[in-house]
Amino acid sequence: MVWRLYGGVFCPFYRHKTGSIRAWNAFAVLFGFLCASTSSLYFRPTFALWSYGGQACSFIDMRIDILTLFPKMFEGPFTESILRRAQEEKVIDIRIHDLRKFSIGKYKQVDDKPYGGGAGMVMMAEPIVQLIDEITVTPVETPYHGVSSSVVHKPHRIYLSPRGERLTQPKVEQISANHEWLLLLCGHYEGVDQRVIDGWIDEEISIGDYVLTGGELPAMVLVDAVARHIPGVLGKDESAAEESFSVKLDRKKEYPLYTRPEVFRDMKVPDVLLSGHHKEIEKWKKAQLR
Residues binding ligand ADE (CB under 6 A): 160-162, 187, 206-208, 210-212, 215, 218
Least gap, CB of 12 to ligand ADE (angstroms):
37
Residue type, 168: T
Q: Encode 210-235: b = buried (16+ Cβ within 10 Å), e = exposed.
A: eeeebbbebbbbbbbbbbbbbebbbe
Q: What is the DSSP letter of 192?
A: B
Residue type, 184: L
CB of 219 to ligand ADE, least distance (A): 8
CA distance 254 to 246: 9
Between 46 and 68, CB nearer to ligand ADE? 68
Q: Which is nearer to ligand ADE, 83 or 184 (CB)?
A: 184
Q: Measured from the CB atom, is 15 or 156 closer to ligand ADE?
A: 156
Which residue blocks in 80-191 are alpha helix, DSSP H? 81-88, 125-136, 169-178
C-alpha R_g of the chain: 24
**Helix-helix angle 19-37:44-56, to 10 degrees:** 140
Closest distance to ligand ADE from the beta carbon of 109 (Å): 21
If the CB atoms of residues 42 and 210 are measured against ligand ADE, the closer one turns out to be 210
* Shortest distance (Å) from residue 212 CB to ligand ADE: 4
- Rounded Cα distance between 224 and 62, Å, is 12
- 57 vs 69, which CB is nearer to ligand ADE? 69
Q: How far is the CB of 289 from ligand ADE (least distance, A)?
A: 28
Closest contact distance (angstroms) between CB of 161 and ligand ADE is 5
Rank residues 188 and 229 by Cβ distance to ligand ADE and give the closer one.
Answer: 188
Position closest to ligand ADE via CB: 218
Whether the CA torsion 211, 93, 192, 214 is positive or negative: it is positive
